[in-house]
Amino acid sequence: MMKHLLLLLLLFSCAIVSQGQTESTPRNVVITYHKKRTSVKTGENGILKINVSPKDAAKFKAAGYVSYSDFGAKGDGKADDINTIAATHAFANQSGFEVKADDGATYYIGGKERTVIIRTNTDFGTAKFIIDDTEVENRNTPVFMVSSGQKWFKPRGISSLKRDQERIDISLPGPCLITVTDTTVKRYIRFGPNQNNGSPQTDIFMVDKNSNVDPDAPIIWDFDRITDIMALPLDETTLKITGGHFTTIANKAESKYTYYSRNIAIRRSNVVVDGLEHRITGEGDHGAPYGGFINIRDCYNVTVKNTLLTGHKTYRTIGSAGKPVSMGSYDISVGRAINVSFVNCSQTNDINDRTYWGIIGSNYCKNLLYDSCTFSRFDAHMGVANATIRNSTLGYMGINAIGTGVFTVENSTIRGRSLINLRSDYGSTWHGEFIIRNCVFVPSGGKPVSASLFTGYNSGHHDFGYTCYMPERIIIENLFIDDSNHPEDYKGPAIFADFNPQMKDSSYREKFPYVITKQVVLRNVTTASGKPLRLSDNLFMFKNVKVVEE
């Protein structure tokens, strides 16, 4: 009797589901529970029609998970399995079941415009996924999206914000992620061959249930006006994505800034990606760039660990200034996100191979971490607030950043042109300090160059939309500079490169003054060449820097 009652309850709940959408079901998916067999079909306007037989529903409930083969995936590497993969996750999202890929399967995913929504733990296991980008209906459509079941809403009662504000005076349903924009203020007005008119001032921060701002990720701008503000309640449970061997067959589009986003997009807080692999094949003499196979945005607390990624081949195009430029193409992209960590990650290609672009690009982030990683570079384009690199090795592109707060590099080997490159296209600005501990610097990977620890450029004549700073204080402790291979006229490594060759004396006038470093603290800095560390080739520019050797 109890068994029949449970079955009736299941069928009743299923009938309700078939009548409309739920929080876990996208608008282009309809799930029914009829007695006929479990099936997946495509209706008008691409609507995915899924039927789950009551017998299979009971079986899935007993197992607690579903597999792609349960919904008809072939897994033979030939038939396009995107619809059945999407259907599997749609059912799992609605039912709260985990998803497990079939061991030994190879899932082919063609260019169809279909995004798989992931809202439950997913184990890709040892399965292989071939993502074919040679003929794509919509290059902006992610293949997978790790999505929140929560909904963004517009909080009322906030008309302005101040830098480092500790609390916002509104009532929230619980801990929330807040994004805020002022379109009337432009920041990051780019300089150089990819010049532009800047981007609207934006920020992201986390508040607790009492509306206190997370002090480890503070508000970094004054918002005298707010043109848009949104809040997303925090997903407090951790969603795990494990395993999976992914291969992208690269696009063959024209080499211009038409980025491809055929990726795993993470748009949920508290996510762990563990043990994933991504490779690339089919790159030729031209192609459009990629916006990150792992694309993390508008979220909080995301960790990618034990993961193997691949740098993309570098292609060239004509930039906005009408000159040839190399296009950034990424396997990792992080935008407007807080507490994003990469732990024990590496890439398939040589981190010193200059034919491949640096593996990561990031914008508007806070608290980025590399720990035990081997990558071609670290990069923060439009700012990072606080960053840490430890126990890692970085290749030919090294460390490139602008931003605020504390940037810590420790127990790492850096093989870039400089130890730290403050990006000149955004004013070579860092409003805060750098801490370098227990590191090895191999200038240009061992090529004969005149080494500088900090490089950048700022003429003082370009308005970037903010005051530009060099790090107020730099602490360097236990640094070995391997400059054994150097030019004949080598004077020894410099702390600072020549950031403005035109600034030779007091007659030079800056329209937008560049605020120079106040103090450099040196503790046990040694060189392979035996030559001592010196200040700079531009002694006038850095004449007021206090260098303390301890």
Q: What is the DSSP string of 390-451?
A: ES-EEEEEEEEEEEEEEEEEES-EE-SSSSEEE-GGGTS-EEEEEEEEEEEE-GGGG-S---
**Residue 543: its pLDDT value, please?**
97
Task: Give the rounded distance of the alpha carbon of 502 from its chain centre.
Answer: 36
Q: Rounded to an integer, what distance in angstroms lies between the CA atom of residue 464 and that of residue 425?
A: 9
Residue 93: helix, strand or coil by DSSP?
A: helix
Dihedral pair phi/psi, residue 61, rounded to 5°: -65, -40
pLDDT band for position 43 (cuts 50, 70, 90): confident
pLDDT band for position 25 (cuts 50, 70, 90): low
Q: Which of 521, 444, 526 is nearest to 481 (CA)?
A: 526
**Residue 11: its pLDDT value, please?**
37
Spatial contact of 522 and 512, defined as CB atoms under 8 Å apart: no
pLDDT tens, 114-124? 999 999 999 99
**Residue 452: its pLDDT value, please?**
97
Strand arrangement, sheet containing 39-42 = 29-32, 48-51, 39-42
pLDDT tens, 414-432? 999 999 999 999 999 999 9
Spatial contact of 277 and 294, defined as CB atoms under 8 Å apart: no
Position 52, amino acid: V
Q: Rounded to an integer, what distance in angstroms lies between the CA atom of residue 536 and that of residue 530?
A: 17
Q: Rounded to an integer, what distance in angstroms lies between the CA atom of residue 363 and that of residue 403?
A: 10
Give mean pLDDT, residues 229-256: 97
Lowest mean pLDDT among 36-50, 91-105, 186-200, 287-301: 36-50
Phi-psi region of 163 (alpha: psi -120 to 50; beta: other; left: phi over 0): beta
Q: Rounded to an integer, what distance in angstroms lies between the CA atom of residue 180 and that of residue 205?
A: 9
Residue 59: helix, strand or coil by DSSP?
A: helix
Residue 227: helix, strand or coil by DSSP?
A: coil
pLDDT tens, 365-401? 999 999 999 999 999 999 999 999 999 999 999 999 9
Residue 262: helix, strand or coil by DSSP?
A: coil
Residue 15 has pLDDT above 60, yes or no: no
DSSP-based helix, strand, coil % in the chain, nearest 5: 10, 45, 45
Task: Give the rounded distance of the alpha carbon of 242 from its chain centre.
Answer: 18
Q: Rounded to an integer, what distance in angstroms lies between the CA atom of residue 384 and that of residue 418?
A: 19
458 Cβ contact list (under 8 Å, min separation 6)? 424, 427, 428, 429, 468, 499, 500, 514
| Helices 54-63 and 82-95, axial angle in degrees (round to 10) | 70
How many other β-carbons are positioned within 10 Å of the β-carbon of residue 66? Answer: 25
**Residue 14: its pLDDT value, please?**
38
> How does DSSP classify residue 328?
P
pTM: 0.94
Spatial contact of 218 and 170, defined as CB atoms under 8 Å apart: no
Percent of the chain residues topping a pLDDT of 70: 95
Spatial contact of 466 and 436, defined as CB atoms under 8 Å apart: no
Dihedral pair phi/psi, residue 528, rounded to 5°: -70, -30
**Residue 8: its pLDDT value, please?**
34
| Residue 439: burial class (beta carbons within 10 Å; 0-12, 13-18, 19+) | buried
Round to the nearest angstrom and report the end-to-end CA distance of the chain: 82
> How does DSSP classify residue 46?
G
Q: What is the largest CA-CA distance in the chain?
A: 95
Q: Rounded to an integer, what distance in angstroms lies between the CA atom of residue 316 and that of residue 421?
A: 22
Give mean pLDDT, residues 89-96: 96
Q: What is the mean pLDDT of the chain?
A: 94
Where does 47-203 have alpha helices with state H? 54-63, 82-95
Q: Rounded to an integer, what distance in angstroms lies between the CA atom of residue 129 and that of residue 81?
A: 10
**Residue 20: its pLDDT value, please?**
34
Residues in the chain, overall count: 550
Residue 51 has pLDDT above 50, yes or no: yes
Q: Which of 375, 523, 360 is nearest to 439 (CA)?
A: 523
> Domain coordinates of the chain in residue numbers?
2-132, 152-201+209-234, 417-550
Residue 187 has pLDDT above 70, yes or no: yes
